[in-house]
Structures are given as C-alpha cells and as structure tokens.
Amino acid sequence: MHARLATIAFATLFFLFASAADSRGQTVSVPLGSGSASITFPTTWKVSSVKRGPEAKTKDDEVYVWAEAVNDANFPTIMKEHEEYFTGQNVALKGAPKTETRKVNGLTMTVIEAQATWKGAPTVLQYLIVDPGFPSGWKLMVTEWASPEGDRQYQKDLDSIQNSLVFSAR
C-alpha cells in the first residue's frame, strides 16, 4: 500500500515538475562574441535555427521573430540581407523608420519600427536592438514581422519573449 502511494506521489510530482518546465517555453542561446544571450519562446511557438540564430513563429504563422548577433561591423550587411529578404516577400518600406532608444532593466534598447506594407496591406516590421554593454560591442537584434492582427493577438507572448532575455559574459 505504501509503495503504491509513493509511486503515485512520485508520478504526480514528476508530472507537475515536467508541466512547469514545459510552460516556461523553449530557451535558446545566441552567441554574442565572448558572451551570449538566452531568449525563451512560448511553448506554442515553432522554434528553428536559421543562419545566425533562432527563428520562431506562431502556430498560425501570423508572427515571425528571429534573433541574431550584431555589431557595428556587420550591421549594414545584415540590414542589406533583411532588405533583400523582405523585398522578395513583397514587403515595401514606406518612408523613414521610427527609432526610439530607452533603458529597460538596465539595458539600452533601441526599437526601430519600419513603416511597411505586405502585398499592399499594412504589416508590422520592427527591430529591437539590445546592448548588454559587452566590451566587444556585440548586441542582440530581435526582428518581428507580423500582421497587425497577429501583433495585437500575440502581444503577451512578444512581451514575454522580450522579458526573457538574459545576457551572460564569458
């Protein structure tokens, strides 16, 4: 009898811990020179690896997010690649982007919000560049491309992704 109760108690605790771990999401690391950034995506998002870091998207493909390491030397090249990619996806930029820099949790964050359309309709295209203050100058750039509806619908998820950022120096 005691063995059976112990087995049930163990199975229950195991399930609770496994569920709690699963609810935190999928954490991936992005190398930043001699440091790194970890970013956690919601469990309901599909996460994969792309050229310079993780890419994640909602199950309905309304929101795409990817993260990559940038520095002053490679930033122009990366932005040119993004421009070519978005042009190939029928995204058109309209006017100058809005840029805002702010401090969040002691980190300098620059938000670049492009005025853009996709196939003639408004689309959300924004960049979050986070400077952890590493002497190497490496920063984390998180790009979001979404429908306006998806951006609103998944705002809590997007906030949780931003709030999950952790930087480590090696």
pLDDT in tens, 60-78: 999 999 999 999 999 999 9
pTM beyond 0.85: the answer is no
Q: Which of 3-12, 110-119, 148-157 is predicted with the least confidence, judged by mean pLDDT?
A: 3-12
61 CB burial (10 A radius; 0-12, 13-18, 19+): exposed
Give the whole-angstrom CA distance, residue 53 versus residue 34. Answer: 16
Q: What's the pLDDT band for 13 if we cut at 50, 70, 90?
A: very low
Give domain 25-169's CATH architecture: 3-Layer(aba) Sandwich (3.40)
Q: Which residues of the chain form beta strands (DSSP E)?
A: 26-32, 35-41, 46-50, 53-57, 63-70, 91-93, 98-104, 107-118, 121-131, 139-146, 166-169
For the chain, the domains span 25-169
**pLDDT above 90 (res 9):** no
Judge whether residue 128 has pLDDT over 90.
yes
Q: Is pLDDT above 60 for 138? A: yes
**How confident is the model at residue 97, as a pLDDT?**
93
pLDDT band for 48, please (50, 70, 90 cuts): very high
pLDDT of residue 2: 42
Mean of pLDDT values over 40-59: 94
Contact 137/35 with Cβ under 8 angstroms?
Answer: no
Q: What is the pLDDT of residue 51?
A: 82
* Summary mean pLDDT of the chain: 86
